[in-house]
């Protein structure tokens, strides 16, 4: 088996390019497993700042199978997202073996996030594995990889200052919003969406003293979410949302409804519509002004768009009295993280990845070690037989012969000497086997990466 990952994130692409690449691509994992026989499993991570596919490939060391899988994935991503194949291919960074492991562990720990150390990503990694299980696309190797990534993330959270810093896009956004609105204990908030970010937003708002929280969702899940989180729910139509916005001080939109799994063809156009457009926000501001009457102008409405696929129409920023912050602007305001803390977390990631890789690749090394042990046992048997024969010759003149206890003692002494002499050879054989396995995987990914870059355009 070869671990292979194709990753695209905010480090390599701007958010607009990343949005185009990941639109409609959540189904790629199922399609790859269903149509590419060598791929034994996939897990897809799609968040506000990354789109990553992790594959477990049954590949020979010549790399042809991996090259085929890599080409096939690039074509499927292109087909599902509407970009050309060469754009999809050139957008991905290809990793294999230990590179896959170390990258995923760093992602799960928040070291690769827009806000370094953010904790939401750990939950997103767990949900990616759960979704893969539900789709029937995971594998034993991917299960172990992702479960170990989650444990490593928890360890880093407990062992470093990164875990207690409360860093997240939600926190950055709410802190930024708090500078332009009335204090949170008397503020009214509207959350658009019912996913993980919505739950994190409820917790972050309450931590700041905000209790007047209402939730809106086009999917119809607002009532259930509100009941489970102790918030109010907004009606299911646009007018209900406009009415709620008229009273709101801050809106956090994190539904990602425009980038979800595509529905029936009849719903395709609706799925591309913004959840919150400029006309709706303008109507909400007009209603707020009408209610205020002769009172001073209402405070600014702060809107935080945390969805990669933009819940909020960009022209909302032009509506008078509205401050709109999207992912790019929030990232620019993210706090810096101390280099020493990041380095400490990075060392823990590297150590955990090395342990995982040694276990994963240890099967090849174990075969070499078993061969040495089998050889040693054969030699032990020969030496024991010779030693027993010598003892028998010494005892024969006295009318005695070696007892079972004598045989056991001789066997233990010979085996101790043999294993002591073998220790150095075992260490060397294991190291050589691991190095050869790593070198083979490196050769595979190099060939796959060359093929990926050479995929011809289909447009």
Q: What's this model's pTM, rounded to 2 decimal places? A: 0.67
R_g of the chain computed on alpha carbons: 30
Question: Nearest-CA neighbor of 43 among 119, 110, 151, 135?
Answer: 135
pLDDT value of residue 452: 55
Distance CA 408, CA 402 (A): 10
Helix axes 238-247, 278-292, angle to 10 degrees: 50
Residue 340 lies in a domain: no
Does 217 carry a binding-site annotation?
A: no
Q: Active site includes 48?
A: yes
Question: Do 41 and 141 meet the contact criterion of CB atoms below 8 Å apart?
Answer: yes
Same domain, 144 and 183: no
Distance CA 244, CA 396 (A): 104
Annotate the chain with three-state secondary structure.
CEEEEEEEECCCCCHHHHHHHHCCHHHHHHHHHHHCCCEEEEEEEEECCEEEEEEEECCCCCCHHHHHHHHHHHHHHHHHHCCCHHHHHHHCEEEECHHHHHHHHHHHCCCCCCCCCCCHHHHHHHHHHHHHHHHCCCCHHHHHHHHHHHHHHHHHHHHCHHHHCCCCHHHHHHHHHCCCCCCHHHCEEEEECCCHHHHHHHHHHHHCCCCEEEEECCCCCHHHHHHHHCCEECCCCHHHHHHHHHHCCEEEECCCHHHCCCCCHHHHHHHCCCCECHHHHHHHHHHHHHHHCCCCCCCCEEEEECCCCCCECHHHHHCCCEEEECHHHHHHCCCCCCHHHHHHHHHHHHHHHHHHHHHHHHHHHHHHHHHHHHHHHHHHHHHHHHHHHHHHHHHHHHCCCCCHHHHHHHHHHHHHHHHHHHHHHHHHHHHHHHHHHHHHHHHHHHHHHHHHHCCCCCC
Does 113 carry a binding-site annotation?
A: yes
- Those residues whose C-beta lies under 8 Å from the C-beta of residue 64, and which sit 6 or more positions away, are none
Catalytic hit among 36, 48, 210, 254: 48
Distance CA 188, CA 231 (A): 11
Does 157 carry a binding-site annotation?
A: no
Same domain, 49 and 194: no
Same domain, 157 and 208: no
Residue 218 lies in a domain: yes
Same domain, 123 and 142: yes
Same domain, 214 and 312: yes
Residue 36 lies in a domain: yes
Q: What is the CATH number of the domain that holds 28?
A: 3.30.460.30
Same domain, 381 and 370: yes
Strand order in the sheet with 93-96: 39-47, 50-57, 2-9, 93-96
Same domain, 177 and 228: yes
Same domain, 132 and 144: yes
- Those residues whose C-beta lies under 8 Å from the C-beta of residue 298, and which sit 6 or more positions away, are 285, 288, 289, 292, 321
Residue 455 lies in a domain: no
Does 37 carry a binding-site annotation?
A: no
pLDDT value of residue 313: 92
Residue 198 lies in a domain: yes
pLDDT value of residue 212: 93
Distance CA 369, CA 430 (A): 7
pLDDT value of residue 107: 93
pLDDT value of residue 304: 95
Does 197 carry a binding-site annotation?
A: yes
Question: Nearest-CA neighbor of 107 among 45, 166, 57, 56?
Answer: 45
pLDDT value of residue 297: 63
Same domain, 146 and 221: no
Residue 427 lies in a domain: yes
Does 50 carry a binding-site annotation?
A: yes
pLDDT value of residue 165: 55
Residue 458 lies in a domain: no
Rounded average pLDDT per 10-residue block, the chain, 459 residues = 72 67 74 86 85 84 69 84 79 82 93 82 91 92 94 90 71 91 94 85 92 88 88 77 90 72 36 80 88 69 87 93 90 78 91 85 65 80 89 88 89 85 74 69 64 52
Does 102 carry a binding-site annotation?
A: no
Residue 43 lies in a domain: yes
Work out how many domains the chain is built from and give that number.
Answer: 3
pLDDT value of residue 148: 95
Same domain, 416 and 295: no
Q: What is the CATH number of the domain that holds 289?
A: 3.40.50.720
- Which range marks the domain in which residue 203 is found? 169-332
Question: Do 220 and 236 meet the contact criterion of CB atoms below 8 Å apart?
Answer: yes
Same domain, 224 and 146: no
Same domain, 194 and 318: yes
Question: Do 442 and 96 meet the contact criterion of CB atoms below 8 Å apart?
Answer: yes
pLDDT value of residue 258: 57
């Amino acid at each position: 088996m070869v671990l292979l990952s194709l990753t695209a994130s905010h480090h390599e692409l701007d958010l607009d390019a990343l949005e185009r690449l990941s639109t409609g691509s959540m189904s790629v994992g199922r399609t790859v497993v269903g149509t590419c026989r060598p791929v034994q499993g996939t897990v897809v991570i799609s968040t506000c700042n990354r789109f990553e596919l992790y594959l477990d490939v049954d590949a020979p060391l010549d790399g042809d199978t991996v090259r085929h899988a890599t080409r096939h994935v690039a074509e499927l991503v292109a087909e599902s997202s509407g970009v050309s194949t060469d754009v999809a291919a050139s957008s991905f960074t290809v990793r294999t073996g230990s590179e896959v492991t170390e990258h995923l562990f760093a992602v799960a720990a928040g070291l690769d996030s827009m806000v370094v150390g953010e904790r939401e990503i750990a939950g997103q990694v767990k949900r990616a594995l759960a979704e893969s299980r539900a789709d029937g696309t995971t594998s034993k190797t991917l299960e172990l990889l992702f479960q170990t990534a989650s444990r490593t993330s928890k360890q880093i959270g407990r062992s470093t200052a990164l875990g207690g810093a409360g860093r997240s896009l939600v926190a950055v956004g709410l802190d930024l919003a708090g500078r332009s609105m009335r204090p949170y204990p008397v503020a009214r908030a509207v959350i658009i969406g019912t996913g993980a970010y919505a739950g994190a937003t409820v917790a972050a708002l309450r931590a700041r003293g905000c209790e007047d929280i209402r939730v809106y969702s086009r999917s119809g899940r607002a009532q259930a979410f509100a009941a489970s989180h102790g918030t109010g729910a907004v009606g299911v139509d646009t007018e209900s949302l406009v009415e709620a916005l008229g009273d709101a001080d801050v809106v956090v939109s994190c539904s990602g409804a425009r980038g979800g799994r595509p529905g029936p063809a009849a719903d395709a156009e609706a799925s591309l519509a913004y959840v919150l457009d400029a006309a709706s926000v303008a109507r909400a501001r007009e209603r707020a002004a009408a209610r205020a009457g002769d009172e001073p102008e209402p405070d600014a409405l702060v809107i935080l768009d945390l969805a990669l696929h933009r819940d909020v129409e960009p022209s909302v920023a032009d509506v008078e009295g509205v401050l709109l912050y999207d992912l790019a602007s929030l990232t620019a305001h993210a706090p810096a993280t101390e280099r020493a803390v990041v380095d400490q977390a990075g060392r823990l990631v590297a150590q955990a990845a090395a342990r995982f890789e040694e276990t994963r690749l240890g099967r090849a090394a174990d075969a070499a070690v078993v061969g040495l042990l089998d050889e040693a046992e054969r030699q032990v048997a020969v030496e024991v037989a010779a030693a027993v024969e010598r003892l028998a010759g010494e005892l024969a003149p006295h009318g005695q012969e070696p007892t079972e206890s004598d045989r056991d003692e001789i066997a233990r002494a010979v085996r101790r000497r043999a294993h002591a002499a073998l220790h150095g050879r075992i260490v060397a054989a294991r190291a050589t086997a691991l190095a050869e396995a790593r070198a083979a995987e490196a050769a595979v990914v190099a060939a796959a990466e060359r093929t990926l870059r050479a995929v011809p355009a289909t447009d």
